[in-house]
Amino acid sequence: MLLLLPTRMCKTLFMTDSYDYIIIGAGSAGCVLAHRLSEDSTCKVALIEAGGEPDARLAPVPGAASWMQNTRADWAFTTTPQRELFDRRIPYPRGRVIGGTSVLNYMAYVRGNAGDYDAWAQMGNTGWSYSDVLPYFRKAETNADFADEWHGDTGPLGVETNQHRHPTCNLFLEAAQSKGLSFNPDFNGARQEGCGYFQATTRNGRRSSTAEAYLDPVRHRPNLTILKNTQLLRIVVEKSRAIGVEVLAEGRRLQTLRSEREIVLSAGSIGSPHIMMLSGLGPADHLSDHCIKIVCDLPAVGQNLEDHLGNGPVIANVSDPDAVFGQVPDRFGSALTEFEQTGGGILATHYLDVGAFYSVDAGTEYPQCQVFMLPGVWEPSRVDGMPDRSKIILSGWPTRSKSRGTLTLGSSNPLDPPLIDPNYLSDPDDLRISVEMVKFHTELLNSLAFASIRAGKALPAFNCDAEVADHVRRNATTIWHPTSTCKMGLDEGAVVGPDLSVNGIDGLSICDASIMPTMVSGNPNAAIIMIAEKGADLIQQRN
């Protein structure tokens, strides 16, 4: 394929120094890989990132996540019209920044459950059972609250329970226990079911992104080169071996970098399949439609897109906002200054402090549902720039969605976004579970536990299941958890094997959320970091 770019973008074309490892994407996985692969001082490592550095003021602040969306740090994708959601296009934030989406996310540290990983192993992915991956979860973290067989205390990643959670969290726990959910002190411990407090990827109350945790401590290594504001155009393959990459640096300078050992694609569930297809690695018919030369026919690239779909909020209006929330800073700037000066205030929490895992069907081995409680003062709820002190919100999603979507090319131009179609609610069971969840969340907010602060009944009020289903379709949105677009396995639907090497191509591996055979039951960031820790070991062993 001949890449046609504006003349101002193509001033020079030259071969730079070669590297042993080239890592594509400095996100949740890429920063981990750069840290681990550069531990060998004899290896030269290049880390390529399309974005720049995180905002030095906003990035550390737990409550400021929404302020970094739709900025230079965000790819700011949108989905295709979703048929089951009244053809709505859903905003799809993805990190375009050193640290990736771990800089933009809401920091919930949830590993999933043992059944998620044991299922991966049962599919033929040897080495990926829960007992296999648990050591890598422990290796990654320094946990401020737990010291036991499930947690680590020497890893780069800060993990802790928020000490600034709102008092209304206790009301949620009271309500959940009144409905039969037992208190669970640790969702990442012996069991996942129950209600309790979520841990976050924070350290001493400040965000612990993979940029902060893994990359910042090793930036000084002479064998590590970080290429920021550098767009990956394609992977160069010769005789079925990946030998280098073409990049666009600073939006104008075309370069080719050579890999002596391995190229590791860690651009995420959106970026990795997009780059694969631009490089001629993907479904042959689809590549031909875009006049891209077929290097290797890999039909599963971009298929099997899974995502968690939030099923729409249920709200309890509060009768006395002053009593429930007190006086808070009117403007974000004032709240930011308060956090910087005191470490407290409404920005000192990631807001996802309390919630539960539960099932709506009897006899399930692992929970079907995840729910968070959000106080009205969380940043996305501002009204005309002012904090919203009017409500309490419950929102959740089925933990194991059955709907499957696709990631396809919008064009053959690497600078054009891909087409993201999660195909939400295409499996009717996802809607059935979501309807039951919304009904249960309504029961929770209408319970006696919230009576002292609630004004009237929870809203919306529903008369039948059809009205609940309509609410889901009109209000459901992504929870930012795309996975499985370059899935791992031994079957024809796999893109990589259990060692993360790309099928049919030497010198190329994928190490990010896209390789998950199925999504995990919870927020995926912890699992992505684990995958990168294990992936680094696999890459070093074979090289």
Active site residues: 481
Q: In Å, what is the CA distance from 529 to each residue of 12, 157, 197, 535?
A: 36, 9, 21, 10
Q: What is the DSSP letter of 457?
A: S
What is the end-to-end Cα distance of the chain in Å, rounded? 31
Could you give the CA distance from residue 269 to residue 158 in angstroms, rounded to a whole number? 24
34 touches 218 (CB < 8 A): yes
Could you give the CA distance from residue 428 to residue 423 in angstroms, rounded to a whole number? 12
Burial of 164 (0-12, 13-18, 19+ CB in 10 A): middle
Q: What is the DSSP letter of 30?
A: H
83 touches 77 (CB < 8 A): no
Could you give the CA distance from residue 407 to residue 303 in angstroms, rounded to a whole number? 6
61 touches 54 (CB < 8 A): no
Residue type present at position 44: K
401 touches 429 (CB < 8 A): no
Q: What residues pair up with 91 in beta bridges, in sequence order?
A: 78
Q: In Å, what is the CA distance from 205 to each residue of 144, 201, 348?
A: 11, 9, 7
- Half-sphere exposure at residue 249, Cβ-oriented, CA atoms within 13 angstroms: 17
Query: Which residue do the tokens 């403007």 mark?
Result: 331
3-state secondary structure (DSSP) of residue 285: helix
Task: Report which of 65, 58, 60 is spatially closest to residue 104, judged by C-alpha positions.
Answer: 65
